[in-house]
Amino acid sequence: MQEFLGFVLFGNTILTYLSALGVFALSILCWITVQYTVRTWFRARALKTATILDDLAITVVASFKPPFYIYFSFFLGLQVVYKPKAVETIALVILLLWLTYECLSMVQEVITEVSMRFGDKKRNVKAAVALLSIFLTIIIWLVGGSIILANLGIDPTALIAGLGIGGIFLAFAVQNIVGDLFQYFAIRMDNPVTEGDFIAVGDLSGKVVKIGIRTTRLVALTGEEIVIHNKDLTSSRVQNYGKSERRGGLLTLYLSLQTPAAKIEALLPLIEDIVQKQDKTVFERCNYVNIAQTGFVIETYFRVHDHSYENFLNVKQRILLDILRVAEKKGYVFASTGINLDSFAN
């Protein structure tokens, strides 16, 4: 047996070949075990979570197919045996080329997973994904090509320096495009706003109708279209009324200083009735709170259980119209300050 294991064939003993075969088999077993665990145990738990990180981890592991890890295992086994330098170099170059291709496939699958989760397969999302794929493909091939050239004994420094000089001019040319692209993905992944939300950015407000790669389009309450650069959405304070489940309204009335106390007292339950008859509206309080220079101050607070800002405006409008009708019918006179109605989301 020892003579058989010690028999030399092509510069290696039979025992060396058996050791290489063991490394090959053990590597394949490890790959199969990891992939099976991820495809079954991890996938079952990923279905119970809302985060996308576990789904991306499964996508990364599952992207490596059997032909790749069989060759990878063969390469590991090849390290055990003696072989000519040329064979070792060729095997390493093949592995690096294959690994570069697998990384490209993995990145593409990850980008597709993210775009399907956040982009709903819209046309502008597909365009952004295509642009990002080209950008990452160039980077991966540059890194992989540099490693391959270095293993072939070719110094890639001069090539990288030449590409670097050209890259500086290219960077100046496309910096705004790349910046817009990353701003777009920041909005899509962080979701500060989505289509259908009613938002306010500075003194501009409107309903979001489209989130593009460079700009976001709003429709104001007065009907005109407002175009906002995506950078303004990620760097400015944005009030998103579409995210709130309910909205509060503080109604302030200023009555004339000639209004008798009895009429003020009679007005409070009338306002309460007006608020309570509105749909999805909860009356909180109505109080005579102050005597100002401009008139007697009455405050009314209510809540509208609806996330739609348009519906809140409709409730506000009906309340104000009903109060004006009561004022005309009962003879109430407003002070010069009139009526204020402040709204906020909670």
Q: In 3-state terms, the chain is what percent helix, strand and coil (to 5)?
A: 60, 20, 20
> Could you tell me the strand order of the sheet in which 215-219 lies?
225-229, 215-219, 204-211, 198-201, 238-240
Least confident of 246-250, 279-283, 342-346: 342-346
Residue 189 predicted with pLDDT over 60: yes
| In the chain, where the domains are located | 2-188, 198-242, 247-345
Percent of the chain with pLDDT over 70: 72
User: pLDDT value at position 180?
Assistant: 73
Q: Looking at the domain 247-345, which fold is it?
A: Alpha-Beta Plaits (3.30.70)
> CATH for 198-242?
2.30.30.60
DSSP string for 91-153: HHHHHHHHHHHHHHHHHHHHHHHHHHHHHTT-HHHHHHHHHHHHHHHHHHHHHHHHHHHHHTT
Q: 154-177 pLDDT, tens per residue?
A: 666 665 665 565 556 555 655 666
pTM exceeding 0.75: no
For residue 181, give both structure tokens.
Answer: 């692209």
Residue 132 predicted with pLDDT over 70: no
User: Tell me: domain 2-188, CATH 1.10.287.1260, correct?
Assistant: yes
Half-sphere exposure at residue 333, Cβ-oriented, CA atoms within 13 angstroms? 9
User: pLDDT value at position 121?
Assistant: 47
For residue 184, give the nearest of 233, 139, 218, 219 by alpha carbon.
Answer: 233
Give the chain's mean pLDDT. 77
User: pLDDT value at position 33?
Assistant: 85
